[in-house]
Structure 1
Amino acid sequence: MPFSRRTLISSGKAREIAQACRAAQVEVAVFANPLTKHQRAVLGDIFGCLVISGEDLLAPGR
């Protein structure tokens, strides 16, 4: 299944990651790829946790 611009990953992979995040009680999921604000929000809703990208870790005050 192709990736979605909305999430940067396929819907099946998003469900798989969401299940793993909930099972491990993850508070923050970090993506290596840059994410838009919209992608972060959508993925956060799906995963049930804060979602950031690696570039967020390097940008002061972001």
Structure 2
Amino acid sequence: MALPFSRRTLLSSGKAHEVADACRLAAAAMAVFVNPLTEHQRTVLSDLFGCPVVSGDDLT
């Protein structure tokens, strides 16, 4: 991995923006992460992606 991931988003900055673009393009209703997310990560990612973000732990 060339760029380190951010504890704030659990992704590298470039990957976070790539996923955000994909969410907007697909008009995603929700983004689901397999990894557990903190409440802060959910908030930051939701704001960036423009849709709610949950982790697999939230779905069980």
- The answer as to 2:47 corresponding to 1:45 is yes
* RMSD over aligned Cα atoms: 0.3
Q: Which amino acid aligns with 1:21?
A: C
Give the TM-score taking structure 1 as reference length: 0.92
Match of 2:24 in 1: 22
Ranges in structure 2 where 5+ consecutive residues have no aligned partner = none
Segments of 4+ in structure 1 off by > 4 A?
none
Identity between Structure 1 and Structure 2 (%): 67
Partners in 2 of 1:20 and 1:33 — Cα distance? 19
User: After superposition, what is the alpha-carbon deviation per residue over 1:3-60, rounded to whole angstroms, capped at 9, x for unaligned?
Assistant: 00000000100000000000000010000000000000000000000000000000xx
**Structure 1 gap ranges (5+):** none
Q: Distance in 2 between matches of 1:56 and 1:24?
A: 22
Work out the number of aligned pairs and report it. 58
Between the aligned partners of 2:23 and 2:10, the Cα distance in structure 1 is 17
